[in-house]
Amino acid sequence: MPRIDLLHVLGEAPEGPWAIFSLPNDDGTDMVSVIIPRSLWMLLTRAQPFSSEITLMEQVGTRLIERRLATGEPIVGPLLASREDVGDLLPAEDIPWFKVLRMCQTCGQTVPPGEVLEGLSNALPPDSRGHVEVKVLCPTCQVQSIHRLTPWGVVT
C-alpha cells in the first residue's frame, strides 16, 4: 500500500470539510481531493471530542483512499467519505434506525408502522446540518417522539 499523506485541509466545501492528500504512483505523486459530508462530520466530531479535526480528517481520508485502492475503484474527482470509511471512530449502532423510529421514547411501546409512515410523509426537507426531523405519534401514550435522521442513522 503506498504512503498516503494529508497535504492540506482546505476548509469548508458546501458539502463539508475538504482536504487534499498525496498518493504516490508510478509517474510521481497524485493529489486526491477528499470531502467528508457535513452530517457525517458532525457525528464524527461529537463521537471523538478530544481528537483534533486534522487527525480525524487524516484518518478518514486515508481509509477512504485505501479502500478505493483495495477495491479497484477509480480515484477521480473529489472523493466523498461514507460511514464505512469512518470505521471504529463512530460507535456501532445498537438498534437499527428503522427500529428506533418504531419505539416510543416516552413509554417504550412499539409504534404501529402507519404512524411511522405518517411521520415520514409529514417530515420537512433537511435542515442546514443535513438532519430530517421526524415526529412519530405513539397511540398508547399520545406523545410525539421527535427523531432526527441523517444518511447514517438516527441522531439522539
Residues 89-147 have pLDDT tens digits of 887 666 777 888 898 888 888 999 999 999 999 999 988 878 899 999 999 999 999 99
pLDDT at 83: 86
How many angstroms separate the CA atoms of 122 and 108, rounded? Answer: 22
Q: Which of 134, 125, 131, 71 is nearest to 101 (CA)?
A: 134
Residue that wins the pLDDT comparison between 46 and 5: 5
Q: Does residue 21 have a pLDDT over 90?
A: yes
Summarised one tens digit per residue, pLDDT across range 25-77 is 888 888 999 999 988 888 888 888 888 999 999 999 999 999 999 999 888 88
Q: How far is CA 93 from CA 22, 36, 63, 107, in A?
A: 33, 20, 20, 21
Domain boundaries, the chain: 5-89, 97-155
Q: At which residue does the C-alpha cell 504516490 appear? A: 24
pLDDT at 6: 92
Would you say 44 and 28 are in contact if contact means Cβ atoms under 8 Å apart?
A: no
pLDDT at 156: 62
- pTM for this entry: 0.64
